[in-house]
Structure 1
Amino acid sequence: MQFVKFKVSFLYSYVCITGASVMALELAASRFLAPYYGTSMIVWANIIGLILLSLSLGYWIGGRWADRRPDGKLLMLISLAAGVFTSLLPLWGKLIFPLLSNGILDTSLWIILCSFFAILIVFAPPVFLLAMVSPFAIRLVSASEEQIGKTAGNLYAFSTLGSIIGTFGTAFGTIPFLGTRETIFLWSAALIAISSLGLRKSKWKWSALFLLLPVLLYLIPYDTFKQVEGKPVVWSKDTLYQFVRVTQTADGQTSLIYNEGGGVQSMRRPNDALNKNDYYDDYLMLPFLMEKPEQVLVLGSAGGTIPRLLAKYVKPIYPGLHTTGVEIDPEVIKLDSRFFGLQPEDAKLVNQDARVFLDNTEERYDIVIVDCYSQQIYIPFHLSTVEFFQTIENHLNPSGLLALNVNAVSTDSRLLQSMEKTLHQAFPFSYVVRARGDYNYILLGSLTPLKLDKLKAIEADHPLAGIRDEWPKQLTSLTPEQFANGQLLTDNRAPTEMLTDSMIFSAAGAR
């Protein structure tokens, strides 16, 4: 039997493209899952672990097949199949993800687990097939090349070069500028194209027709995110940090939603109205706990809800109030004035990571509000530690205070108790407020005791009077007994993602 062989120069280009495709698939898998499961360490561990397992099996079986049948045509058919599998991934996701239409917080545990592993398993076949490329390519040149070591090294070098291109090109190019689906279709088309080029002299020369598959699948309407809980999506984009959408109802209520919608990051109600379900409103009490507040820092300003509400309801009483908002996602900052009514005079906005900003500023503040969430409902671990809270303490004026929101299903939540324990370690006076909303608890840290009698500065006919009356009932001082089961979070060990996931799974399992 006569086997098809290729020029080494063609194989260099071929392994470069297949190597790039593997990394593109890995990154695309993370973004594909992120809208529903986030990108916690657990999610990444599952993605990387399954991909490594697929690669290991692919290397092993690919080497055995290459020895039995060192045929270039077979190699091209393998990568062609990988390209076809890859192009089907968005279609499969469209079938699976509607099962999570209620969000990860309101979906039963078995659906979460089954759909999660179903999607992971779908990514395994193309990665398994692509892993077969390297041993196959080396076997194809081993019979005709005297310097097999050099050639094998070159093949691995070009494959690794492709992986670098796939990594940076996907992370900083195709996903933020085109989208996750488009990235998957682009690399599936590249795999089909290079495979068809290798098959052009065989009876499989018609395989180029498979290029129509990603094109046709791309043209199929993908309307999964046209609405969120019945609210029309007026803007959406895959940014460098998350999948972002803006929804708007007929009466003008606007919401900023990251990923699958498990948590609304910002909201603007018609006329910036207050609402008993909005924990943002509780932050408006903070300026009234001190004599003459001037500098407010909002870490994680998102759509600018907190700065906007401060400007409307507090600044008329304290004209000297100045707000600085820090937001890590530049695309989100652009939405503040466009959809959420934030005006230039309301706040100064800074595009930076919250902790990096604190480490590089010498400003001191009367109030620091931490409202940072990554991938729907996760508090970034580096913004939950004793060291972080101590950094904030160093940037507070003597009578200043820190406030942060924690999503928790109950006061027994180990996540909430760990945050309480950590805050109490950094601040001599610490408190918890059962805030508005279903799962919201606001933790307060201060260098001096809080005096709620200062809330009397809010007059009875003021819109904030209702919240003023709620606070004495909702605020309690933290004591060691309240967070006895909590874990002290440090820069060295802060498993906030694990604590959040275990809380969610426990709540879902109880349904």
Structure 2
Amino acid sequence: MEIVKKSTLYTISAFVSGAAVMAIEMSATRLLAPYFGNSLYVWTNVIGLIMMALAAGYYCGGRLADQKPKASIYFSLIFLTGAWALVIPFVSGPFFAIITRSFSNLAEVVRIGSFVAVAFLFVFPLFLLGMIVPFTVKMVLVHVEEAGTVSGKISMISTLGSLVGTFLPAFVLIPVLGTTKTFVCIGIVLMLLAAFGLRKWIFVIIALASVGFLWLVPPVFAHDSIIYAKDSPYGFVFVTEDEEGVRRLHVNNPIGTQSLYDPASPLAPEPYYYSYFGVLPAMVETPQTVLILGHGGGSFTRIFNAYYPELSVTGVEIDPTMTEAAELTMGLLDATVEIVYADARTYLLNTEKNYDLILVDTYQTSSIPAHLATHEFFELVHSRLNEGGLVALNASSASGDFLNSLVKSVDIHFDQMAAYAVPNSTNSMILGSDDLNFDFLRAVPEMLSEKAAAVTEGLYEFSFSDEVEVFTDEKATRVEILSDAMHMQVLQGF
């Protein structure tokens, strides 16, 4: 008994629509991250609003299909969704910037601002895609007694499409093409599918013309001096070069510099913090090994290679694209360093090596990984230090409650703590050791003596009240709340 009609085309439509649901959801977080971060609150808004949009789409799609079960309406919904997807990456930046500047309470930007952003930009296309599943069931159903079989089959096919739409953007499209072109791919597939179903060449022409135009439009970005740009699974990585030839490595936005390369010197110009951290090996008696968590483009490695050639340098970097960018544009190919690609905490859990100096440089201006800021993490860091070893954190843009809680989370695992605020910078150097050596000027290379003197004079100790909370894995969302508020403050002042 034949229970479906035009089953192939409608089956493909259900599969593609299911894939588009998850592809848009996965790609949406990449557009939101530079403006709202990628905390639990942002993900909750994305998932929650998309679920709401799909639920409404299922209901409305079923009612519309019962009233007007026409192929022209069915494929028009798909075509409209594709057109919307094409536009999203080109309007999201200006739209999100307006939202972030519309809140006086910075804490509300992450929770409410991201809610508004998702509601206005992503709910409508997901609502349309939600209409496709019940509409498909209506279009292929011939006999009512087979309704269960047909609805189960279409739901399965749509879910399999969603599975593909989850993995394909994360592992292929975004790393290879970038976020903007991923949305373009989603749009072109939906529009061409709809054009084929509508069987009108005008829709095919519109789809191809729109994609041909949008494919040539570069992503909206503020810098004209980009010499390298690539999307990775972890962020949009790009390198800029100024008029003096100094190159800066950024992730997602130009607010924070992840690494800096000056062809004329391993030392970074003011007000960058890298040179101040260059004095740290001198604080350890006979240092032999250093571990850099968050190796980035290798700014620390260049300094250590130049002024402490006896040091064995290991860098842990989660994103291979950062290394690729540094090798192509920032002289990393000439450096002596062992680079391990892993999450910093995962590496510490699995390595059996101990180090004389551990640098933690994993905090971006727009994103502070919660699992790398808790006292359990610093307990693990402490366990990987040799006797007399030193840990140093770059607390980028850290201030207020976040900085106090971060330092207290470090303090409970070390006998001695000290901090240094890098001049004319938002960076703070947080030091922890069981035997902190303040008499290190004699061991500092001559080129770093000025920085060492400044650090010696500027080191200070923290004092805590009982009210300052310690960051824990159990309540890691507290890290996200405070760090997101700092991110919004920096972004609004940019």
TM-score (norm 1): 0.88
Structure 2 partner of 1:386: 375
Structure 2 partner of 1:470: 454
Residues 272-298 of structure 1, C-alpha deviations (whole Å, 9 max, x = no match): 234331111221121111221110000
Q: Does 1:452 align with 2:419?
A: no
Residues 157-214 of structure 1, C-alpha deviations (whole Å, 9 max, x = no match): 00001001111111111111112121111121111122222222xxx56322232243
SS in 2 for 1:337: helix
SS in 1 for 2:420: strand
SS in 2 for 1:427: coil
Structure 1 partner of 2:205: 209
Q: Does 1:429 align with 2:419?
A: no
Q: State how far apart, in whole Å, the 1-side matches of 2:424 and 2:46 are.
A: 33
Structure 2 partner of 1:268: 261
Q: State how far apart, in whole Å, the 1-side matches of 2:244 and 2:486 are.
A: 35
Would the aligned equivalents of 1:84 and 1:210 in 2 still touch at CA under 8 Å? no
Q: Does 1:243 align with 2:232?
A: no
SS in 1 for 2:225: strand
* Aligned-partner residue type, residue 418 of structure 1: S
Match of residue 404, structure 1, among 364, 368, 393: 393
Q: State how far apart, in whole Å, the 2-side matches of 1:480 and 1:309 are.
A: 34
Change (3 A) 1:53 1:213: farther
**Uncovered stretches (5+) of structure 1, i.e. residues with no partner:** none
Structure 2 partner of 1:14: 13
* Aligned-partner residue type, residue 17 of structure 1: V
Superposition map of 1:287-302 within 5 A: 287-302=281-296
Deviation at 1:401, TM superposition (A): 1.1
SS in 2 for 1:32: helix
Q: State how far apart, in whole Å, the 1-side matches of 2:174 and 2:493 are.
A: 37
Q: State how far apart, in whole Å, the 2-side matches of 1:507 and 1:266 are.
A: 19
Would the aligned equivalents of 1:87 and 1:217 in 2 still touch at CA under 8 Å? no
Moved more, 137-146 or 357-366: 137-146
Q: State how far apart, in whole Å, the 2-side matches of 1:321 and 1:217 are.
A: 53
Deviation at 1:19, TM superposition (A): 0.5
Q: State how far apart, in whole Å, the 1-side matches of 2:169 and 2:362 are.
A: 26
Moved more, 158-167 or 333-342: 333-342
Structure 2 partner of 1:328: 318
Residues 332-383 of structure 1, C-alpha deviations (whole Å, 9 max, x = no match): 1123333222355532211111111111211111000010135x53221111
SS in 2 for 1:73: helix
Change (3 A) 1:508 1:26: closer
Moved more, 285-294 or 337-346: 337-346
Would the aligned equivalents of 2:284 and 2:357 in 1 still touch at CA under 8 Å? no
SS in 2 for 1:476: coil
Change (3 A) 1:274 1:506: closer
Match of residue 486, structure 1, among 451, 465, 468: 468
Change (3 A) 1:510 1:108: farther
Would the aligned equivalents of 1:326 and 1:352 in 2 still touch at CA under 8 Å? yes
Q: State how far apart, in whole Å, the 2-side matches of 1:30 and 1:502 are.
A: 18
Superposition map of 1:316-355 within 5 A: 319-343=309-333, 346-355=336-345
Structure 1 partner of 2:481: 498
* Aligned-partner residue type, residue 350 of structure 2: N
Q: State how far apart, in whole Å, the 2-side matches of 1:97 and 1:184 are.
A: 17
Q: State how far apart, in whole Å, the 2-side matches of 1:13 and 1:151 are.
A: 14
Q: State how far apart, in whole Å, the 2-side matches of 1:308 and 1:191 are.
A: 48
Moved more, 27-36 or 184-193: 27-36
Structure 2 partner of 1:222: 218
Q: Does 1:37 align with 2:36?
A: yes
Deviation at 1:115, TM superposition (A): 7.9
**Superposed CA RMSD:** 2.6
Moved more, 77-86 or 211-220: 211-220
Residues 430-488 of structure 1, C-alpha deviations (whole Å, 9 max, x = no match): 2222124421111111122x2312223337xx22122122123321223333xx54321
Q: State how far apart, in whole Å, the 1-side matches of 2:243 and 2:413 are.
A: 45
Q: State how far apart, in whole Å, the 2-side matches of 1:156 and 1:36 are.
A: 35
Deviation at 1:95, TM superposition (A): 4.8
**Uncovered stretches (5+) of structure 2, i.e. residues with no partner:** none
* Aligned-partner residue type, residue 196 of structure 1: A
Would the aligned equivalents of 1:368 and 1:401 in 2 still touch at CA under 8 Å? yes
* Aligned-partner residue type, residue 335 of structure 1: A
Q: State how far apart, in whole Å, the 2-side matches of 1:71 and 1:39 are.
A: 41
* Aligned-partner residue type, residue 427 of structure 1: F
Say how many residue pairs are matched: 484
Deviation at 1:93, TM superposition (A): 2.9
Change (3 A) 1:296 1:175: same
Would the aligned equivalents of 1:299 and 1:370 in 2 still touch at CA under 8 Å? yes
SS in 2 for 1:235: strand
Paired-residue identity, %? 33
Would the aligned equivalents of 2:401 and 2:482 in 1 still touch at CA under 8 Å? yes
Change (3 A) 1:338 1:507: closer
* Aligned-partner residue type, residue 490 of structure 1: T
Q: State how far apart, in whole Å, the 1-side matches of 2:372 and 2:184 are.
A: 36
Q: State how far apart, in whole Å, the 1-side matches of 2:381 and 2:353 are.
A: 11
